[in-house]
A and B are shown apart, each in its own frame.
Chain A
Amino acid sequence: MFAILTNHPLFGIGLTLLVFALAQSAYLKSRRNPLLTPVAVAIVAIIAALKLSDIPFAAYQNGGRYILFLLGPSVVALAVPLYRRRQEIYAKRGPIMAGVAAGALVSIVSASGLTWLLGGSRDVVLSMAPKSVTTPIAIALVEKIGGIPELTAAIVVLTGCLGAICGPEFCRLIGITSSSATGLAVGTAAHGIGTARMLEVDPLAGAVAGLAIGLNGLMTASLLPVLFILFG
C-alpha cells in the first residue's frame, strides 16, 4: 500500500516541491544566510527523509525525473541573460576567456592532484578531474579517461553545492569584487548550481556564470584528454 503511494510520480514531485518551498522560506527568514542555501538544504532533507522511511531512491526518482527534466530548457534559457548583457560581456571577452582557461586548468590539476597526494586510488583521482563542469560533460569525459561515472556525478553535484553556498562570500573575502569576475569564478567552479545562486544575487553575474558553464565545458573537454595522455 505504502509502496503504491511512494512509487507514484506525485510522491517525488510533491516531496521535492514541498521541501524546497520550506527550505526557501527558512532561507528568507534567516535573511539569506548562505549556509541555508535552499538547494543544499532540500537535498540533505530529502535524503534524510528517504533513508529514515526506507524509501528507495528509484521510487523518489519516478517523480524526481520530471523536475530534473526542466533543467534542460533552463540551460538553453541561459542564452537570454547572456543576450541581454551582450555588450558588457563582449567588451570583456578577453578577460573572460583567459579567466575560464586558467580556471579549467587549475580545476583539473588541483582536483586530481590533491586527491592523488592524499592517497586516493587511480579510479577516484580520474573521477575527480572534471568536477567543475556540468554533469553530462563530466560523465562523458570520465567515461573516456576511465574513472567511475557515478562517482563523478556525485562529486559534480557536491562541488556545485559548495560553490553555491560559499562562492559569492569567498570572492568578496579575497578581493574579487566586480560582478563579471564573481559570476565567472562561481560559474567556472560550480557550473549550473553556482549559476542558479548568481542569478539570484546579481543579473550580470548570473549571465556571465551561465556563459562560464559552456566555456568551461568546452575547455575542460579539450584539455582533459590531452593532460590524460601526458600524465596518465
Chain B
Amino acid sequence: MQEPTLLLLTALADEPRHGYALMQQVAEISHGRVRLRTGTLYGALERLQREGMVRVEREEVVDGRARKVYALAEPGVTALAEETERLRAVAAEARRRLALRPRPRGATA
C-alpha cells in the first residue's frame, strides 16, 4: 500500500470526512510531509471507491456547492488494520534489533 493511500484510509478511520477535511488530515497526520492536491485526492477517492474500501456516506450543500462526505467501508477497515499490523511488526522488530546493538564505549544509559 502506497503512503498516500495509507494516509487517506487513516484520515477516515475515526469518522467520515469531506474532501478538503481529508486533505488537511493527511497533511496533519504526515506532519506536512504529504500534501494531496485536489485532482490527486479526487482520483484516489474514486479508485478507493471502485475497490470498495471507501464509500460515500452522504452529500451536503455548503455555500451553494455540493460536496460528498466519505467514510471507510468494511474492506477499507480490514486493509487498514492489516497494513497497521504489518507496520507495527516491522517497527517492533526494528526496536528489538536496535536494542541488541552494542553501545558505544563510554555511553551511559
Do A and B pair up? The answer is no
